[in-house]
Amino acid sequence: MSELEMKISKLPPHLQKEVERFVDSLAESGPQKEWDGPEFKWEGALKHLRDKYTSVELQHKISDWRIGKE
């Protein structure tokens, strides 16, 4: 018997049933893709402003938008 099976066997019957339902739901959801981290889909979105503003000026502008100055 594996360590996991031993742990489950020590649970009360109602919790064993809950574990079974949880395992069933995992099995039904299919294989899970391993998370590779953030995708940065927004990267380069402000490229058209590169020659108009510095990165610091853009940070200040974003801060103004967040606090509602403009």
Half-sphere exposure of 26 (CA within 13 A, CB side): 8
pLDDT tens track for 21-36: 999 998 888 777 788 8
- Specify the long-range contacts of residues 21-30, CB closer than 8 Å, at least 24 apart: none
Helix (H) or strand (E) holding 61, with range, is: helix 55-67
Cα 33 from Cα 13, distance rounded (Å)? 32
More confident: 20 or 70: 20
State if pTM tops 0.75: no
Question: What local confidence, expressed as pLDDT, does residue 54 receive?
Answer: 87
pLDDT tens track for 49-64: 788 888 898 889 889 9
